[in-house]
Structure formats: C-alpha cells, structure tokens
Amino acid sequence: MNTSLTAQQIELLHAKLIVPIAVNDILNYGLEVEPDMQYGLHEALSEIDPDSALLAIALSAQHIAEQSKTVHPIAGGLYAECVQIVADYGPNFIRDLKRGSLPEADFLDVLMTVPEDLEALADLLDALSAEHEDELAPIVVLSNLLSIQARAHMEIANYILEEAGRIDKESAEDFFIYDKEPEMTQDAIISIASQQQAQVQTDNIILFPIHLRH
C-alpha cells in the first residue's frame, strides 16, 4: 500500500488508468496473456501521455512485484520503485483530474523527471523478467510489455522536452535506447503484441498536444 495515498485514491488511479486493473486480473485469475490481450494493453498505454503512462506502468508493475518478491529479490526493488513513483506522481494526477486539463507549462514541468523514472522501471522489469525461465509465463509477458512501453514513452517524453527547449539534444540522447532516430509510432509498438516480439521497431513519433485528464 502506498502510504501517501488513501486506498480510495489508489482505486481511483486504477479506474482512470485501466491497465493496472487488467494486469491485476490477469495475475489473480491466472489468465494467459493472449496476443489480442497484449495488443489491447499496448493500445491502452499508447493512447496516454508519458506521465500518465508512467503511473499506469508503475501501478501495474507493483502488482507483478507483489506476486514475485518472495521468490525473486529484484522484485522487492521493483516494488519499492513503484511505490515511490505512485507517491511522487499520484497526488498531482488526482489533482489534475479536477482541473480537467493540464496547462502546457505544467505538463512540461511534470515531464522533466519522467524519463529517468521510466528508465528505472524498464530496467527493473527487464531484470525481473530475466529471473524467470518460462518466457511465456504471464509475469514475463507482462513485464516485457510494460518495459517496451516504458522505453517508448521515455523516448517520447525526451523528444517533447527537447522540442520545447527544456533539455538539449545531448541530454535527450542519453535516454534514447534504439539505434536510430528518436522517433516512434505507437501503432508500431502495438503491433509487437500480435507478433510477440521483444523489441520496438518504429519510424515516427506521436506527440500529445492536449493533456487531458479524464
């Protein structure tokens, strides 16, 4: 439980971000993560801004860590990172729900720390996935899926910050993980689910000019 947020607030975050509910259900009911389910999760994460995606991934990864931390020590680190991220970003997300929209300057302020937190989550998810021998186990499939989206949104966040003049190109390149231009389409990322690939292969980036909180 995240001590800085009430149980009701955590439930609200789950309800608004959707993906954490799906991940929790998959794990609790022992469901197989079929390609169409993977596609739906990729799509849901691709349709939100990087800061919202960070929260959704952290809440989802927390459920994964809860089921793994007694067996795999790395899951304890993942759990702690998720708790911290939710504590850092959750209150502002809930506050912005009441405003209905987020001014551009405020959005960029929030975005400044998002790439490094996304990278930390992706690294921990990759490490946890590597601990499992069964590559088709739901925890592994979900960890890989969340890591893919974390790294995609990391690039998107850095691209937005660079375009807005908040960071220089050299700083942004510190986070770029693909040996190509820092441009991606979320449609290409979504296609990974049906192809069951472990790497993103994309060409163009989708920016998010309207930062709505629904």
Tell me the average pLDDT of the chain: 83
| In a domain? residue 158 | yes
Q: Residue 204, class by beta-carbon neighbours within 10 Å (0-12 exposed, 13-18 middle, 19+ buried)? A: exposed
CA dihedral 116, 122, 123, 129 (to 10 degrees): 170
| In a domain? residue 210 | no
Residue of 184 and 5 predicted with greater confidence: 5
* Arithmetic mean of pLDDT, 149-153: 98
Which tens digits make up the pLDDT trace of 49-97? Answer: 999 999 999 999 999 999 998 889 999 999 999 999 999 999 999 999 8
| In a domain? residue 122 | yes
What pTM was computed for the model? 0.81
DSSP letter string over 181-198? -S---HHHHHHHHHHT-S
Which tens digits make up the pLDDT trace of 15-35? Answer: 999 999 999 999 999 999 999
- Residue whose token pair is 């849901």: 44
186: containing domain: 7-195
Residue of 117 and 206 predicted with greater confidence: 117
| In a domain? residue 208 | no
Which tens digits make up the pLDDT trace of 180-204? Answer: 333 344 555 444 434 433 333 333 3
User: How far does the chain reach from its first CA to its final CA, in angstroms?
Assistant: 24
Neighbours of 31 (CB within 10 A): 12
* Arithmetic mean of pLDDT, 163-172: 75
pLDDT at 4 exceeding the cut of 80: no
Picking from 155, 13, 140, 178, the residue whose alpha carbon sits closest to that of residue 82 is: 13
| In a domain? residue 212 | no
> For 212, phi and psi rounded to 5 degrees?
-90, 145
Helix axis angle for 104-111 and 138-163, nearest 10°, is: 120
| In a domain? residue 1 | no
pLDDT of residue 100: 77
Q: How many domains does the chain have?
A: 1
pLDDT at 117 exceeding the cut of 70: yes
Report the alpha-carbon distance of residue 57 to residue 51 in Å, rounded: 10
| In a domain? residue 211 | no
| In a domain? residue 48 | yes
Q: Are 188 and 199 in contact (CB under 8 A)?
A: no
pLDDT at 206 exceeding the cut of 50: no
Which tens digits make up the pLDDT trace of 39-53? Answer: 999 999 999 999 999
* Arithmetic mean of pLDDT, 135-148: 96
Task: Look up residue 122 and give its DSSP letter.
Answer: H
pLDDT at 155 exceeding the cut of 60: yes
- Percentage above 90 pLDDT, the chain: 67
Residue of 52 and 208 predicted with greater confidence: 52
pLDDT classification of 212: cutoffs 50, 70, 90:
low
